[in-house]
Structure 1
Amino acid sequence: MGLQINIDNGGTLTDICIMADDTVKKTKVLTTPYDLSKCFFEGLTKASGVLYGAPDVKRLLEEVDLIRYSTTQGTNAICERKGPRLGLILDGAAHDLPSRLAAHDADVFEALVGDRIVFLDAATVTGEAADVEVVKAINRLTAMGANRLVVSFDGADFRAVEDRFRLIALRKYPRHLLGAVPILYGSDITSDVDGERRTWTALINSFLHPSMEAFLYNAENRLRAYRTKNPLLIFRNDGDASRVAKTIAIKTYSSGPRGGMEGVKTFSRRYGFTDTVSIDVGGTTTDIGQYSNGTVAEVRRGHVEGISVSFPLCEVLSAGAGGSSIFKVVDGRVVIGPESVGAVPGPACFGRGGREATITDASLLCGLFDPTSYFGGGMGLDADRAAAAVTANVATPLGVGLDDALLRMEFAYEEKIAAELHRFTKISDETVMLAFGGAGPLNACGVAEKAGIRRVAIPQMAAVFSAYGIGSCDISQRYAVTLDDAAAVGATLDALKVKAARDMFAEGCTEGTYTLEARLVADFGDGRTETVMLGDQPELPPAFKGARSVELELKAVRSLREGAEKAAAFAPKSSATPHARRNVLIRDRGRIDVPVYRLADLAEGAFASGPAILEEDYFTCRVPQGWQFVISNAGDILLSRED
């Protein structure tokens, strides 16, 4: 393995994982949401310092073989409803479509589209009055405040109608004019015959596109200036990667969490876990997934905030609670999220102008963090600002003291994540909870207790686990075409292979360096689908002829994955030696001194019981009373409830 840099961009922190030969190193920088390219290059600069002993980004970019990038920006944008105002043009025969779209998630539909909807009859678009009516529709939506439009027609000929609309729009609003309005057509994204899925897919892609495009092309252009050997690779939510120009915005949605799930898969196989639920806690969200039966859950028609879309997605739930999520008191009860202070202004204790109360502030005040060593010693924390935020936003509205408010915040945080775990996953006596992300290990045992889980695993690379997980991805391109003619399987497949050859060449992959895999998927319209792999003689199976629709799917893959993961185990051998002691607020016991263990100082098999603190440069783990930890021969952590 040559030199690889994996970057996972979160709402608050950006994680960098450096893989060189058999060593793995890590670092972090604060996310700069106003300019993502800034934290991207700050991360590369800091990574060069970790690698060479002093910052030398020019040398790093000359020597690096691969740079992979994943992000939670799309997830956060949907969660926080931050993005452009969309206008929607629909088929006049589908007046009930808005209500059907809103039925998927009324809040998201209102935030993205609201009442910015215009209906046009397909016959009008293809008729003599088309020019006038198309212009009127576009002008009406822009006058209502839409700054991006989505066009989605229905019926068997929806592609032809959208193509006709496109010709008129380009003629009346040439793209070189400043007044041109970005328009996305549902048929550009997918040939899915389900109008609801196709429209939602186009809406979400259009919503995410501007911010992702601006950042990614800017980052790629800056990398070119350093003459990097290979283009920036974007890790997608299907588990593979491709260059910026060959990636669409919706494929970046939840790509960071999907990187974490790739890590969950590898970690579970390493230790022989058969049932693993994961919590990836960042600054804005907690991403929840599950590994069972040897793989992570993925569905052919994935879900974004519960909304069905046309592409395959790993089943990951993004709950609006993270290290920078805002606590408030509602009807005498402490609630958290989904609003977040992000990295700017950040939690109050960061001293960057934040005045809201977060779990980061509460953890500092509880004594879990050392203000001088937090974030690898690169960021001092201000306890006075944290106390002011918690007092003003939680303690005073509740009429309680500061310590009581801190315990209630902790309980509300753990209770919310535990409830989401039960809602989204299946928990059994064999379930192990894998906790990662910068804030994942912090309250992992508390979450596990409330969820009825007795074992918690924390990877040594927990703080950058999603960045670590994307290091095993391949380069791929995927295609799906709905067959209009059952006899055209061979010709359609040949056309897709030509397209795949061109796209993979653009990825730097010549013929013979990648593999092709084709299949037919029949949808019978009753929730039942059937799949058959295509061989040398592509033809439609007789059983597919009664299907509602048949899609031909092709995948081209250049494998980058390394060999099999080495097995590891947890076996207690000797008592761990504490590094220091810290005064910590403990429920029902008040503030007491507890031992602090540094992960870097602990040998294989070291173990100890709580209450205690286990910490590393970029994460802190509370070990409650009644729990014990042990270090594996790979440097990972297992916490278990003592009988």
Structure 2
Amino acid sequence: MFLGVDIGGTFTDLVMLDGDGGLVTAKALSTPGELELGVFAAVAEAAAQRGMTGEELLAKVTAFGHGTTQATNAVIERDGARTGLLATRGFGDTLAIQRLMGFTAGVPVDRLGWYSRRRYPAPIVPRHLVRELRERVDHAGKILLPLDEDEVRKAVRELVAAGVETFAVALLWSFRNPEHEHRVGRVIREEAPGAFVSLSSEIAPVLGEYERTATAALNSYLAPKVVSYLDGIEQMLRKRGFKGAFSILNSAGGVMPVAEAARRPVTLVTSGPTGGVMGSIHLAKKLGYRNIITTDMGGTSFDVAIVVEGKPLMSTNHEAGGFHIATPMVEVRAIGAGGGSIARVVDGQLRIGPDSAGARPGPVCYGRGGTRPTVTDADVVLGIIDPDTFLGGKMKLDRAAAALAIEEQIAKPLGLSVEQAAAGMRRIVDAQMADTLREVTIGRGFDPRDFVIFAYGGAGPVHCAGYGVELGVPRMVVPVTSMAHSAYGALAADLQFSTERALLMRGGGGDRDASEGLDAARIQTAFGELEAECLDAMSRAGVEAADIRLVRSADLRYRRQTNDLIIPLDAGAVTASSLADLAARFEQTYEQTYGKGSAFREAGIELTTVRVEAFGKARRPEIALHAPTEAPAPGRRSIFEPVVGRRMDCAVHNWRDLPMGFTVEGPAVIEHPETSVFVAAGQVARLDAHSNITIEQRQESRDGRR
């Protein structure tokens, strides 16, 4: 048995595959403050579907992949550890200054002009917990001023007396020569045995004083909460009979052993959303799609990522809580739009989100104390979600309460009927999500019509008919694992380890070739050393050499710019020819990202970092599904079609009863115990050979829209 689990803001999702590829999905309400309870509730639900207890199931599980929100929550809620920072003398304010980046960090583009909204984030290391050390290493790694270890001991003792639990060390140019940081680390471990220590030269050995400092500080800030959670859930799994391998999904698109995750918790900040992206890539390869847009609409957020030619767009500078993390991550854009997003009327206008009702109290229809109408309440009132079959009938929804909340707080203030108000709520949230999709596609130089949308999460299949058509994509795919797709990604992802090294070189400029000046021999040597480190990490994790795949890349930018692009580099010897190809691909990627004609090769390029990622192939069975040969007669119910704006008769099908190749025209609802797929009027849905649902606009509808 193989398990994948992902904890969301509202639900904890689980996917299970047996040795023959038999698929089981399960959901349980997330339990804030005691997240492991939601995990075990989902395990118990999956076990019940196989006629077992949770303990009996866990005893049969050989691999457990887990996507976690612990790091994300700690940043958002600001309840990380009391952290002390040791910096080079004169540079103790690096975290506070932030290159002015923090002044607008996390502020939506449309609000950058609202100067009253601009402010620096609350510090993760208060200034009184920063100590400056007399030492200096220059840009070439030469020691100019030796480290004074007595001063280090005094600083560490002061911080311990001030209640510091963890330490971050970020000295100037330590990625060129980490000797001083290593010595500081040894002193900390002598003076404060058991304290968690992050050295910037190990966590983020890259150019960029602020980003490197912030990454090391966040790593230590997050460590106790993340490590405690990972240790706790693993011990509870072991006590309940689990004897297999336990791995954690990281933000770069792979899983890692718990020991590595505990050492580098900062790499888990976008663990949950990354799972859905990796699950989509895995499925897209089987379906033959190279360019996809992944859309995860859950209870609290709408997460979007772009996959081009089978590879997700990556970022080396991710913002979290107003600070910046210099480790590679799958680029995921998130907005506050989910099933739990709260609707309100402000100055005569209907607005949705970004705040959410979450798991508790949740939408009004949940009957858990929620009083403010949400998107899910609107879907129930419209008839798109059946209150009697939600979560397979295990959770009855209160349509009357949802209708009353919408009537009092939305319909009456706007002079609309309850159904018109609910339809307006749905159309507005769909438009907000479509706007986000435009930003990450058209805004990056991509034509949405060249992509296929993958829709998942509890609410993604309910709403993709709206935001997909709004964007203009030709096809939407609802995966068979859509109701727990991020959990499927945690199960299907390969083991991943990455390491990088700052290697500043300048090439080209003026009339010279862009790559002229880049030292192929030095780059080859650096890649060789990084690859050896990756192979050693994979070996320690028990991965066979034949199952290891190494991927090289380099970070490049035009001279005097501050942001890099990650450009892949082919395996083999690094030569003048391969570097010329690297420079050409950088220019192509630059114009694709920033617009045709934006490249400026006369400025010359800078190579700042070389990186190697190792992937250990996950040997998991493929999903094997048994589908019926003939569909039973559908149910019928009346819905208020939100786009057409009137009541319509709607076919209702059970996803599990549908045969391969089944086709239905909208309006229709295809129900699963853990989600519902809405097919709007003018659309056609088909079940493919893998039991995924594909939704397209009917030809005459497309022609009518032109």
Give SS of 2:24's match. strand
Unaligned 5+ runs, structure 2: 107-118, 137-146, 506-518, 583-603, 701-706
Which of 675, 679, 683 lines up with 1:623 in the alignment? 679
Q: CA deviation at 1:117?
A: 3.0
Which amino acid is the alignment partner of residue 155 of structure 2?
A: V
Greater alpha carbon shift after TM alignment, 585-594 vs 194-203: 585-594
Which of 480, 491, 508 lines up with 2:500 in the alignment? 480
Q: Deviations over 1:406-450 (max 9, x none)?
A: 222112211110110001123333432221111101111111222
Distance in structure 1 (CA, Å) of the matches to 2:178 and 2:648: 68
Which position in structure 2 is the counterpart of 1:269?
285
Give SS of 2:461's match. coil
Which position in structure 1 is the counterpart of 2:660?
604
Give SS of 1:267's match. helix
Which of 50, 56, 61 lines up with 1:59 in the alignment? 56
Which amino acid is the alignment partner of residue 277 of structure 1?
A: I
Distance in structure 2 (CA, Å) of the matches to 1:28 and 1:430: 33
Distance in structure 1 (CA, Å) of the matches to 2:54 and 2:540: 26
Which amino acid is the alignment partner of residue 39 of structure 2?
A: F
2:70 touches 2:229 (CA, 8 Å); kept in 1? no
Give SS of 1:277's match. strand
Cα 1:282–1:516 shift into 2, 3 Å: closer
Q: CA deviation at 1:34?
A: 1.5
Within the alignment, does 1:560 sit opposite 2:576 as a pair? no
Counterparts of 1:287-302 in structure 2 under 5 Å? 287-299=303-315
1:76 touches 1:285 (CA, 8 Å); kept in 2? no
Distance in structure 2 (CA, Å) of the matches to 1:273 and 1:516: 22
Which position in structure 2 is the counterpart of 1:455?
475
Within the alignment, does 1:381 sit opposite 2:439 as a pair? no
Distance in structure 2 (CA, Å) of the matches to 1:444 and 1:522: 35
Q: CA deviation at 1:484?
A: 11
Which position in structure 2 is the counterpart of 1:507?
541
Within the alignment, does 1:320 sit opposite 2:312 as a pair? no
Cα 1:641–1:500 shift into 2, 3 Å: closer
Distance in structure 1 (CA, Å) of the matches to 2:453 and 2:672: 19
Which position in structure 1 is the counterpart of 2:43?
44
Greater alpha carbon shift after TM alignment, 340-349 vs 490-499: 490-499
Distance in structure 1 (CA, Å) of the matches to 2:531 and 2:74: 35
Cα 1:313–1:574 shift into 2, 3 Å: same
Percent identity, aligned pairs only, is 25
Which amino acid is the alignment partner of residue 224 of structure 1?
A: R
Which amino acid is the alignment partner of residue 33 of structure 2?
A: Y
Q: CA deviation at 1:12?
A: 0.9
Distance in structure 1 (CA, Å) of the matches to 2:427 and 2:77: 27
Which position in structure 2 is the counterpart of 1:236?
250
Give SS of 1:232's match. strand
Give SS of 1:441's match. helix
Within the alignment, does 1:441 sit opposite 2:438 as a pair? no
Which of 119, 130, 134 lines up with 1:123 in the alignment? 134
Q: CA deviation at 1:390?
A: 3.3
Give SS of 1:337's match. strand
Q: Deviations over 1:257-310 (max 9, x none)?
A: 222122222333333334322211111211112233233323455565897532
Greater alpha carbon shift after TM alignment, 161-170 vs 323-332: 161-170
Distance in structure 1 (CA, Å) of the matches to 2:639 and 2:524: 71
Which of 352, 368, 373 lines up with 1:352 in the alignment? 368
Give SS of 2:273's match. helix
Which amino acid is the alignment partner of residue 47 of structure 2?
A: S
Q: CA deviation at 1:17?
A: 0.9
Q: CA deviation at 1:159?
A: 4.4
Which amino acid is the alignment partner of residue 221 of structure 1?
A: Q
Q: CA deviation at 1:506?
A: 5.0
Give aligned pairs, total. Answer: 621
2:531 touches 2:550 (CA, 8 Å); kept in 1? no
Give SS of 1:323's match. coil
Q: CA deviation at 1:470?
A: 3.2
Distance in structure 1 (CA, Å) of the matches to 2:485 and 2:472: 24
RMSD of equivalent CA atoms: 4.1
Distance in structure 1 (CA, Å) of the matches to 2:24 and 2:94: 54
Q: Which has the higher contact order (CA 8 A, sep 6+)?
A: 2
Which amino acid is the alignment partner of residue 127 of structure 2?
A: I
Q: CA deviation at 1:401?
A: 4.5
Q: CA deviation at 1:136?
A: 9.6
TM-score, normalising length: structure 1: 0.83
Give SS of 2:462's match. coil
Which position in structure 1 is the counterpart of 2:200?
186
Which position in structure 1 is the counterpart of 2:123?
113
Q: Deviations over 1:162-191 (max 9, x none)?
A: 45655665566x356xxx8x6644334221
Within the alignment, does 1:154 sit opposite 2:172 as a pair? yes
Distance in structure 1 (CA, Å) of the matches to 2:632 and 2:379: 24
Give SS of 1:640's match. strand
Which position in structure 2 is the counterpart of 1:570?
none
1:17 touches 1:25 (CA, 8 Å); kept in 2? yes
Distance in structure 2 (CA, Å) of the matches to 1:607 and 1:537: 52
Which amino acid is the alignment partner of residue 309 of structure 2?
A: N
Cα 1:214–1:333 shift into 2, 3 Å: farther
Distance in structure 2 (CA, Å) of the matches to 1:383 and 1:563: 41
1:93 touches 1:121 (CA, 8 Å); kept in 2? yes
Which amino acid is the alignment partner of residue 664 of structure 2?
A: A
Q: CA deviation at 1:633?
A: 2.6
1:6 touches 1:467 (CA, 8 Å); kept in 2? yes
Which position in structure 1 is the counterpart of 2:383?
367
Cα 1:105–1:285 shift into 2, 3 Å: farther
Q: Deviations over 1:495-552 (max 9, x none)?
A: 878866775465344x7575474858476773477776776999xx9999x9977756
Distance in structure 1 (CA, Å) of the matches to 2:290 and 2:525: 43
Which position in structure 2 is the counterpart of 1:197?
211
Which amino acid is the alignment partner of residue 217 of structure 1?
A: D
1:85 touches 1:113 (CA, 8 Å); kept in 2? no
Cα 1:564–1:162 shift into 2, 3 Å: same
Which amino acid is the alignment partner of residue 476 of structure 1?
A: Q
Q: CA deviation at 1:379?
A: 0.7
Distance in structure 2 (CA, Å) of the matches to 1:534 and 1:602: 46
Q: CA deviation at 1:356?
A: 2.8
Cα 1:72–1:582 shift into 2, 3 Å: farther
Unaligned 5+ runs, structure 1: 567-572
Cα 1:102–1:38 shift into 2, 3 Å: farther
Distance in structure 1 (CA, Å) of the matches to 2:21 and 2:630: 27
1:282 touches 1:438 (CA, 8 Å); kept in 2? yes
Which of 644, 664, 670 lines up with 1:614 in the alignment? 670
